[in-house]
Copies of this chain bind each other. A is one copy, B any other.
Amino acid sequence: MADSKLLPSLDGDPVAVETLLQDVFGIVVDEAIRKGTSASEKVCEWKEPEELKQLLDLELQSQGESQEQILERCRAVIRYSVKTGHPRFFNQLFSGLDPHALAGRIITESLNTSQYTYEIAPVFVLMEEEVLKKLRALVGWSSGDGIFCPGGSISNMYAINLARYQRYPDCKQRGLRALPPLALFTSEECHYSINKGAAFLGLGTDSVRVVKADERGKMIPEDLERQISLAEAEGAVPFLVSATSGTTVLGAFDPLDAIADVCQHHGLWLHVDAAWGGSVLLSQTHRHLLDGIQRADSVAWNPHKLLAAGLQCSALLLQDTSNLLKRCHGSQASYLFQQDKFYDVALDTGDKVVQCGRRVDCLKLWLMWKAQGGQGLEHRIDQAFALARYLVEEIKKREGFELVMEPEFVNVCFWFVPPSLRGKQASPDYSERLSQVAPVLKERMVKEGSMMIGYQPHGSRGNFFRMVVANPTLTCADIDFLLNELERLGQDL
């Protein structure tokens, strides 16, 4: 062939490219993986924004830099970043570092392709199909459709858009003005993306009818019935119910069977936002929490959360077999989806989505699944439930800790009551003072770098901590650490 260069040029020196990447990978292994997951290292190295700007020297210049400078920049980026794989990172609904998933992500980045056609993503088009089939099987569907989306919020938006298109196909061409006013239903505990989606899709947040949840955070089906009647009485057309399997704060699972009954009765699309709780379907012991999910029309499920596949890995699953995704989102761009290709163009998934280029999000999950097996993943889920239970029992034993409620999932919500507030529940400013505790402890733990855990107010309750047991490497020792550390940080309050 015409020339023989082996590597992209780096100042004309191909060996330097390989050396650079080897050096960077060495830094990644040492700093992000070994130290980043070591309990004896900090979970974060807090700096004030202005100081961090100086330390990072962010400005982009005309002149390039030497390889030595670049490697130092790589070290600094890792040093001042939060270690989400650290055993004391409890801050979000994702944590932990699965090595096979990371391997899949590194391969994905090295191949750098887009998922839209079989032509340039043959492996990943077939792999995505297989992974989606497996996820659908766990939902309880032997056929269907689906797609990986850039996050659960967009998966939820897809569901809303598909539901309205199925009922009013005219909407795609003529828009919402050609339709009657629509109403969708979700509980007060739903994720905020339902509201964002309603606004983005042109429905407006007023179209979201909020259904009451019970004291555990579960949608009340009788109130759903009431809200549907109310919306109809106001002249709106109900078209979708979005139930939640695993709410963000309390980890509640809506009663899907009862909600499905309501949807069936009224002919409504049932979407299940299982972004957080979907992975429980892998556990024979706990999957009853999602009983009825097989009756949904669509399910959003993020394996980047409880399965630690890595951001982002968000599947939208559909029971539909009528090519609804492509009919709803397709626009037949002739430069990309030529119909005179030499292979079956049904394999080109690009017209199923509203994106054009689309990242490969299936390999990390597939490779992790191949390595762990369904059994290995199931064990992780069961282990997370067991550790959450351990935490609950420890909280009950210790003075100064109070559960918000008995959890049914791996979100454990609790207050730390500092010494000065113990026994003062009757004091009129107790709630207000208790609410000020979590922000103070959060600041202290972050500035020390010892751990990270989220807090929030919720309804009429003041700030409490939300512990999330998601990192697959957590042990009882990490749970003990969490409680001991809160006691240490809050002993003077």
Query: Complex Cα distance A32/B110, Å?
Result: 6
Interface size on A, residues (CB 8 A): 179
A64 within 8 A of B: yes
- The residue on B at minimum CB distance from A28 is B110
A175 pairs with B196, CB closer than 8 A: no
Kindly list chain B residues whose C-beta atoms are within 8 Å of the C-beta of A302: 357
CB neighbours (8 Å) of A29 from chain B are 18, 21-22
Q: Are B60 and A374 in touch, CB under 8 angstroms?
A: yes
Which residues from chain B contact A178 at a C-beta distance below 8 Å?
204
Tell me if A398 counts as interface (CB < 8 A to partner B).
Answer: no
Check B33 against A110 for contact (C-beta < 8 Å): yes
Report Cα–Cα, A20/B436, bound state, in Å.
45
* Number of this chain's copies in the complex: 2
Contact (Cβ within 8 A) A477 B91: no
A106 in the interface, Cβ–Cβ < 8 Å?
Answer: yes
Q: Is the CB of B112 within 8 A of A5?
A: no
Binary interface encoding of chain A residues 104-117 relative to chain B, with 1 for a CB under 8 A from any of its CBs, else 0: 01110111111000
Q: Which of A321-360 contact B (CB under 8 A)?
A: 329, 331, 333-336, 338, 340-344, 347, 354-359
Interface string of A50-65 (1 = CB under 8 A from B): 0011001011111111
Q: Are B311 and A113 in contact (CB under 8 A)?
A: yes
The interface stretch among A127-135, A139-147, A219-227, A421-429 is: A127-135
**A244 on the interface (CB 8 Å rule)?**
no
Inter-subunit contact A370/B64 (CB<8 Å): yes
B residues within 8 A CB of A84? Answer: 111-113, 120
Query: B359 touching A312 by the CB < 8 A rule?
Result: yes
Contact A99 B17 (CB under 8 A): yes
* Interface pair B359/A21, CB less than 8 Å apart: no
Is there an interface contact between B473 and A5, defined as CB atoms closer than 8 Å?
yes
Nearest-neighbour CB distance to chain B for A318, whole angstroms, equals 17
Q: Mark A185-216, 1 if CB is under 8 A from B, else 0.
A: 00000011101111111111111000000000
Give the contacting residue for A473; candidates B8, B91, B195, B481; CB below 8 A. Answer: B8
Closest Cβ neighbor of A451 among chain B residues: B1
Residue of B nearest to A356 (CB): B153
Q: A415 contacts the other chain (Cβ, under 8 Å)?
A: no
Given contacts A3-B39, A105-B109, contact A70 B335 (CB under 8 A): no
Residues 449-493 of chain A: 1 if any B CB is under 8 Å from the residue's CB, otherwise 0? 000101111100001001000001101011011001000000000
Bound CA–CA A458/B334 (angstroms): 8
A87 interfacial by beta-carbon distance below 8 Å: yes
Check if A404 is an interface residue, CB within 8 A of chain B.
no
Mark A163-178 against chain B: 1 for CB-CB distance below 8 A, else 0.
Answer: 0000000011111111
Contacts A122-B52, A171-B202, A373-B61; is A8 near B22 (CB within 8 Å)?
Answer: no
> Chain B contacts of A103 at CB under 8 A?
20-21, 24, 70, 74
A3 touching B478 by the CB < 8 A rule? yes
Q: Is A97 an interface residue (CB 8 A)?
A: yes
Separation in Å of the A111 CB from the closest CB of chain B?
5
Measured CB to CB, the closest approach of chain B to A427, in angstroms, equals 21
Which of the listed residues A4, A69, A150 has the most CB atoms from chain B within 10 Å of its own CB? A150
Residues of B within 8 A of A475 (CB): 3
> CB-CB < 8 A to A204: which residues of B?
171-178
* Inter-chain contact B64/A91, CB cutoff 8 Å: no
Q: What residues of chain B lie closer than 8 Å to A36, measured between beta carbons? A: 110-111
- Encode contact with B along A297-326: 1 for CB under 8 Å, 0 otherwise: 000001010000011100000000000000
Which residues of chain B are near A154, meaning CB under 8 Å? 150, 354-355
Interface residues of A in 362-377 (CB under 8 A from B): 363, 366-367, 369-376
Residues from chain B with Cβ under 8 Å of A436 in the complex: 340
Nearest B residue to A161 via CB reads: B200
A176→B177 contact, CB < 8 A: yes
Q: Are A99 and B207 in contact (CB under 8 A)?
A: no
Q: Give the 5 A-B CB pairs with smallest separation, nearest first.
A: A202-B202, A175-B204, A64-B373, A150-B150, A335-B456
12 residue pairs bridging A and B, Cβ less than 8 Å apart:
A5-B37, A8-B473, A20-B99, A28-B107, A32-B107, A63-B373, A63-B375, A74-B107, A82-B122, A173-B199, A176-B204, A196-B331
